[in-house]
Amino acid sequence: MKEREIMIHTPTREEACPEHLTIDHSDLPIISSDDVISSISESNKEFLLDFLHSENLGRYQYIEQLGVTIQNVGGLVVRCITVSSHEQALVSLAMLKCTVKAVGGRLELAPFAVVVPYVSEVQEEPLQEDGLPDISVVESMEVA
């Protein structure tokens, strides 16, 4: 029986659907000199080099403080899988790019990186038809 070749189509930036846009290096903000200094700190470089060890090949990690998910794809290549659309997450991704470059690596973005819409954690109070807060759902504390 003859083996079939499986071709996986990698979408281009133009083909990405609006709900799941990708990001390219040219989309990253320019970071300040303080951000560059922070990016190339020994602790950041050590973290990244530990992540890039060969035994971590294929592993991915969500870094909540940065708002990004990265994957070790081997050969000092870090692939960004997701990034929040929040401005600070994009700054963090630009800083990560600087750290990766400082250790001699390469950061892959488009078409792999999916920009995840930022959703604020602040929840709005439910409103009644008259536009006033619905007091039936207000949490209260019992006092003894």
What does the pLDDT look like over 13-62, one tens digit per residue? 555 455 458 999 999 999 999 999 999 999 999 999 999 999 999 999 99
Output the pLDDT for position 128. 61
Of 84 and 142, the structure prediction assigns the larger pLDDT to: 84
Question: Does the reported pTM lie above 0.75?
Answer: no
CA 35 to CA 13: how far, in whole Å?
A: 28
Top pLDDT among 59 and 7 is at: 59
Contacts 24+ apart (CB under 8 A), 76-79: 76/52, 76/100, 76/103, 76/104, 76/105, 76/106, 77/105, 77/106, 77/107, 77/108, 78/48, 78/51, 78/52, 78/105, 78/106, 78/107, 78/108, 79/107, 79/108, 79/112, 79/113
Q: Report the percent of the chain where pLDDT is more than 70.
A: 70
pLDDT at residue 117, as a whole number: 87
> Tell me, what's the pLDDT at 139?
53
| pLDDT at residue number 21 | 87
Look at residue 1 and tell me whether its pLDDT is greater than 90.
no
pLDDT for the residue 118: 84
- What pLDDT does 9 receive? 45
Place 8 in a pLDDT band, splitting at 50, 70 and 90.
Answer: very low
Answer whether residue 135 shows pLDDT above 60: no
